[in-house]
Amino acid sequence: MNTATVAAPPLNPAIVADGWRGLISDWSSDRQAFHVSWGKAMMWIFLLSDTFIFSCFLTGYMTVRVSTTATWPNPSEVFALHVGGANVPLLLIAIMTFVLISSSGTMAMAVNFAYRRDKVNAATLMLVTATFGELFVGMQAFEWSKLIMEGVRPWGNPMGAAQFGSTFFMITGFHGLHVTGGVILLFIVSFKLIRGDYDRTGNYQIVEIAGLYWHFVDLVWVFIFAFFYLW
Which domains are assigned to the chain?
A: 39-229 (1.20.120.80)
Predicted local distance difference test score (pLDDT) of residue 78: 86
Predicted local distance difference test score (pLDDT) of residue 31: 47
Predicted local distance difference test score (pLDDT) of residue 71: 87
Residues in the chain where the model's pLDDT stays below 50? 1, 16, 30-32
**Burial status of residue 175 (CB atoms within 10 A of its CB: 0-12, 13-18, 19 or more):** buried
Q: Which residues contact 144 (CB under 8 A, 6 or more apart)?
A: 169, 172
Report d(CA 34, CA 40) in Å as an integer.
10
Predicted local distance difference test score (pLDDT) of residue 29: 55
Per residue in 12-52, pLDDT (tens digit) is: 555 545 666 766 666 665 444 557 778 888 899 999 999 99
Report d(CA 140, CA 169) in Å as an integer.
11
Identify residue 57 by its one-letter amino acid code.
F
Spatial contact of 183 and 137, defined as CB atoms under 8 Å apart: yes
Per residue in 80-89, pLDDT (tens digit) is: 888 877 888 8
Predicted local distance difference test score (pLDDT) of residue 14: 54
Predicted local distance difference test score (pLDDT) of residue 13: 55
